[in-house]
Amino acid sequence: MIKYVVAVAAMGVTGAALAANDVALKSSVFVERSVPDANGRQTIVLEEPGAIARGDRLVFVLNYRNVGAQTRTAFTITNPLPRPVAFQGTSDSGAIVSVDGGRTWGLLASLRVRDTDGSLRGARPEDVTHVRWTLRRTIPVGQGGRVSFRGIVR
């Protein structure tokens, strides 16, 4: 079994959210595991990662909080994916992705990449390099929320 150690710091948040000094961000990563419960049924649990292996399913959670003196109405969070992780989606509405290192953005179904033979093809989840959310909601002082996405270790 191949083991990977993915540094949590490499999964940090970048972009416009860091420039917005009145928004505090905290990034967490969990490994999703299926374990039997007391009745022997399989239950999905999220665990703190140690060394992770190819095929492990990861959940990335980005918590944000308005620590400024005024209500926020919009800000952007951009999160690069670590190279050993293939994007598996997000349930957060408004999330867009990049498949070219953050140069262009859109819904995955609308993006194209150049294949190894030079032809263009529709982008696939494993092509995603960054995930971005532009949050256009009122966030009172002291309040916050979270966004998340899933990945799988290549």
pLDDT at 40 over 60: yes
Amino acid at the residue 28: S
What per-residue confidence (pLDDT) applies to 91?
Answer: 85
Q: What's the alpha-carbon Rg for the chain, to the nearest Å? A: 17
Query: What is d(CA 92, CA 4) in angstroms, rounded to the nearest whole number?
Result: 27
**The model's pTM:** 0.81
Query: What is the number of alpha carbons within 13 Å of residue 114 lying toward its C-beta?
Result: 4
* pLDDT confidence band for 109 (50 / 70 / 90): very high
| Number of other CB atoms surrounding residue 109 within 10 Å | 7
Q: What is the mean pLDDT of residues 84-88?
A: 97
Closest CA to 95 of 76, 72, 82, 112: 76
In terms of Cα–Cα distance, which of 20, 19, 26 is closest to 71? 20
Distance (Å, whole) CA 94 – CA 113: 22
Residues 6+ apart with CB under 8 A from 57: 31, 32, 88, 150, 151, 152
Q: What is the pLDDT of residue 12?
A: 44
Q: What percent of the chain has pLDDT over 90?
A: 73
Sign of CA dihedral 34, 36, 42, 44: negative
* Mean pLDDT computed over every residue of the chain: 87
CB 154 within 8 A of CB 102: no
Pairing of strands 3-4, 23-36: unpaired
Segment 118-141, tens digit of pLDDT: 999 999 999 999 999 999 989 999
